[in-house]
A and B are shown apart, each in its own frame.
Chain A
Amino acid sequence: MPLNLKNPQVETRDQRLGTITQWEGRADQLVKDSAFTYGCNKGCDNGGRRLCEQSTPFAQASMCAEHIAVTNATIIQDSVVVQHSPIGCAASQSFTARYYRDLAARRGWELEDPKSICTNLGEQDMVFGGVERLEQTIRDAFERHKPRVIFVATSCATGIIGDDVDGAAKRVEDEIGIPVVTLHCEGFKSKHWSSGWDVIEHGILRRLVPQPPTKQPDLINVIHLGGPDVFTPLLGPLGLRVNLVMGGNTLERLAQMSEAAATVTMCFVLSYLATGLEQEFGVPEVRAPLPYGLDATDNWLRDIAKLTGTEDKVEAVITSERARIAPELERLRQALKGKRGFVAAGAAFAHGLLADLRELGVTVDDAFSFHHDPIADSGDPQQDSLGHLVETWGDVPNYTVSPDQHFQAHAALLRAKPDFVICRHTGTLAVLAGRMGIPVLPIFYSNDGLGYEGLLTIGRAILRVLPRKRFYDDIAAHSSFPYQPWWLAETNPYAAITEPA
């Protein structure tokens, strides 16, 4: 199914990819079910069943697509984000500002606060509509900051009252002469927050990437979740230049995406953009499994080399990189011998961390993924990152899909009894693990585990946190969670909620 870039609203990943947020079982079963249901058109004899989402009547606060879309619009330089919403949606401004300042320091940008304005809708706006105020706020945003682009993000409230946000954006855009890009990111529209990536990538593809005047054959787009440029050291020796996009970038970088020789995506959860660049501008998408672990990194580099005509250089790079990290990798494997890990992250990123841990010799029988995409936008089975993981590294016997539900994570951790937890989206899981006496390695910048160096980065980081067990054990002995005793003892995250109150 081609991506529909005509419509200002992106089709949700629930619709495009059959994304689910609740599932429990063996990873190899999930792989088969996903392929059976979406990959080979029902009926291929792969031992799979129709993929069924589980459900539970109890639920805890999660995250929404608006948060992801707005954060990633805010960290684009020279932008202003207008949140067309009641004031609460803009509560994220403070952590987005912290994130932006950290990025600015890393990227050598001016250290300043990002610009975002909330229309701050009240009750009267719910009755009469907020379009006028939106138009005025866009004008004010332009006057105040002279940005080069303005993003307008919707909210649950404006989605329900039906404000014509696109019309307002267009009217003011014609006045002020810079792109006003709408982001339709009502939190209720998708089951999973990762749809927010699609929303911002959809907006970028529609409005901020021009038809290329020329091609740059040595330029490779790297779409990443955020963090330092760990790619140039890998791709530079092949004679390639990295165009690092998403996770904080400039409008120039976004604009030149269409000129690149190829696109790689560091987490297939974000692959909407790469698929769109191939569809709209003919920039090929590298589909090799992601570079987590030695062999996968070798193959990923070879794939890029093939697409960019640099095959003559790639074997030398692989040999020298492997040799460079070998002694330290051996030291880390010795230090981590016999340890049991637990991975909690979003889909493809979780699969990558699982591969890293297994390459490091850590036993990982338990994983907690915040959602599951049965297919990628490309439809290419090569991008089945869970399938690749199971094939390369074996099954994950306890594979839980849950949108960061605290009560389910408690059960999963009680079952796993790991020596440490490695997690992203640390809102729930990091402190839960800590308070259960389990050292935790939170990953904010998700590039940490990539490539050859990523194995060292992750291994060293785990060793840094293991001694904190002394602190966490103390806390665990002196605090408790307000669950009923039967749930505190439960080890099945999807156990039926049937106990009497």
Chain B
Amino acid sequence: MLSPVTNPSASSGEFCSSPGAIEQVRYGCSLGALASVIAIPGAIPITHCGPGCATKQFHALSGINGYQGGEFHVPSSNLGNQEVIFGGADRLDELIASTLKVMEADLFVVQTGCIPGLVGDDVGSVVRRYQKRGVPIVVAETSGYRGNNFTGHESVIRAIIDQFVGDDKVDKQPGLVNVWSLLPYQNPFWRGDLTEIRRILEGIGLEVNILFGPASRGVSEWRAIPRAQFNLVLSPWLGLSTATHLQEKFDQPLLHEPTIPIGAKATSAFLRRVVEFAGLDRARAEAFIAKEEQEHYVYLRDFACFYAGQTSQYQLPSQAIVISESAYNLSVASFLVEQLGLHPGPFVITENPPNEFRERIQQQYRALADHVGAEPLFEQDGHRIHELVRARDYTGQLPIVFGSTWEAALADQIGAPLVEIGYPCTDEVVLSRAYVGYRGALQLIERTYTTVVRASTMA
């Protein structure tokens, strides 16, 4: 058992960047938010860090995590002895100047790693000189020891909003929404999911700044952020600080939906809440929901044949164990319990959410379905997570694990199939697959029960 290490500087409510030693890591460092920049079409990160930092972050978050690929040709100062001893600000200046000569982008985001933070480079003043010349460039402090790629993501977003989008309050465009949801690349299914989220929101009459991924129009969406009627935070906590900031900065109201909806029941209810909040045309929204549900339930009706055991002898799982970051954890747990009728098992949240949000996250789990709740656990260390899960009694149940690559051995030990839903996800090749909304739910069912069938037939 690893000894818990308390953070002397972290009072409650503050993000504890270093909750103790970790085996089987499940997130990157702050610099890993360069993946969020790469996720914005037309944006390029410029990394001011050691020679291996940027590559390691992106290859971990993208390369081997669902084999997502992506535009990786990131300018980097690749700091060496000289810059550690004499400082690296001049080297960064040289790198930015040459980047502008070689590369083309709508937006450059300078990100710092551990080295400039420790040697004290004045990165801000280097970047400001370019900003004064009108170069679309911002700087975000993302030293690896300051946090993880979740908090780095919010630092990067804050930098773009404050240094690039600007301060001008503009007229609002009714029906335009900024969406803050899944962490790009960290969640292997973010591309398909954001596409589905965009699709269903457009379906009820909204115009959407989805901001990241193939479904985004890129930097022009970021410029349009101040025009939005409201901000939608579709995650348990990530994006809340961004949306709160925008609320103050641009008087934009904020709708917080902690659970990304999976399946018709949750999705239709979610859409109706958005319709009420934004004051949209109800009839139009209901027409969309009706059409979606009609198609969706044809598939569920037919899936019921398999689920009821009509032609099969498989032992279907009865209890859900979910080990992942909170956004997918909460969504998948809700779907499995409320819509598929599984018993709740251990739910372990792995991304070290800031303390101030934990109570609110716990509340969500206490009402997964009528009269059914659970207490989620917060733990980052793989070894301890597996001890916690193994310690539960599964007598009479057939558990199924939704987790990461690290859960393969655990799943074997407790005789459960494993569906990979989170980082690191090395046994899935993911392109546009989605697991949320109406269409994603069907794919999640497909993947889940294909896994179950294969586990039965191959054992």
Contact = CB atoms under 8 A, between A and B. Distances in A.
Given A57-B98, A86-B145, A481 B115 contact: no
B145 A90 contact: no
Interface stretch (A36-44, A155-163, A165-173): A155-163
B52 interface: yes
A407 interface: yes
B267 interface: no
A157 B60 contact: no
Interface residues of B, number: 84
B97 interface: yes
Given A57-B97, A118-B21, A95 B50 contact: no
A57 B23 CA distance: 38
Contact of A91 (B57, B77, B117, B409): B57
B188 to A, nearest CB: 12
Given A93-B24, A98-B426, 10 more contacts: A61-B78, A64-B53, A67-B52, A86-B143, A87-B28, A119-B21, A124-B7, A140-B1, A160-B114, A497-B98
B72 to A, nearest CB: 7
Interface of A: 56-67, 86-95, 97-98, 112-113, 115-126, 133, 136-137, 140, 143-144, 155-157, 160-161, 187-191, 193, 403, 406-407, 427-428, 431-432, 481-484, 487, 497-501
Contact of A120 (B22, B50, B52): B22
B64 A133 contact: no
Nearest to B382: A113
A428 B54 CA distance: 12
B454 to A, nearest CB: 18
A61 B57 CA distance: 11
A427 B63 contact: yes
Contacts of B105: 482
B145 A122 contact: yes
Interface stretch (B80-88, B281-289, B331-339, B371-379): B80-88
A484 B50 contact: no
Interface string B58-84: 111101110001011111111111011
**CB-CB nearest 8 A-B residue pairs:** A122-B18, A64-B52, A88-B29, A94-B424, A91-B60, A61-B54, A58-B98, A406-B73
A492 to B, nearest CB: 13
A87 B423 CA distance: 14
B444 to A, nearest CB: 22
A403 B80 CA distance: 14
Given A86-B144, A497-B101, A61 B76 contact: yes
B50 A124 contact: no
Interface in B1-41: 1-3, 5, 7-9, 16-25, 27-32
A499 B101 contact: yes
A61 B100 CA distance: 16
A483 B51 contact: no
Given A113-B24, A160-B118, A427-B59, A122 B7 contact: yes
B156 to A, nearest CB: 15
Contacts of B21: 117-120, 133, 136-137, 140
B235 to A, nearest CB: 21
A87 B27 contact: yes
Contacts of B29: 86-89, 91
Contacts of A431: 69
Interface of B: 1-3, 5, 7-9, 16-25, 27-32, 44, 47, 50-61, 63-65, 69, 71-81, 83-84, 94-95, 97-105, 113-115, 117-119, 143-146, 148, 383, 405-406, 408-409, 423-424, 426
Nearest to A432: B73
Contacts of B51: 61-64, 187-188, 191, 193, 403
A88 B56 contact: yes
A124 B9 contact: yes
A454 to B, nearest CB: 27
Contacts of B78: 59, 61-62, 403
A287 to B, nearest CB: 31
Given A137-B2, A484-B101, A90 B17 contact: no
23 contacts: A57-B94, A58-B99, A59-B76, A60-B75, A61-B52, A61-B53, A63-B56, A88-B114, A91-B61, A92-B60, A117-B2, A120-B21, A123-B18, A126-B117, A136-B3, A137-B2, A156-B53, A157-B114, A160-B119, A482-B71, A483-B103, A484-B101, A498-B101
A157 B145 contact: yes
A397 to B, nearest CB: 25
A86 B59 contact: no
Contacts of A124: 7-9, 18
A91 B5 CA distance: 21
A498 B101 CA distance: 7
A129 to B, nearest CB: 12
B76 A62 contact: yes
Nearest to B19: A120
Contact of A88 (B9, B32, B80): B32
A76 B383 CA distance: 20
Given A120-B18, A121-B145, A187-B50, A61 B118 contact: no
Given A61-B78, A86-B29, A482-B71, A122 B16 contact: yes
A125 B18 contact: yes
Nearest to B135: A501
B3 A156 contact: no
Given A482-B103, A487-B102, A123 B52 contact: no
A191 B80 CA distance: 7
B52 A483 contact: no
Contacts of A61: 47, 51-55, 58, 72, 74-76, 78
Nearest to B93: A57
Contacts of A63: 51-52, 55-56
A94 B28 contact: no
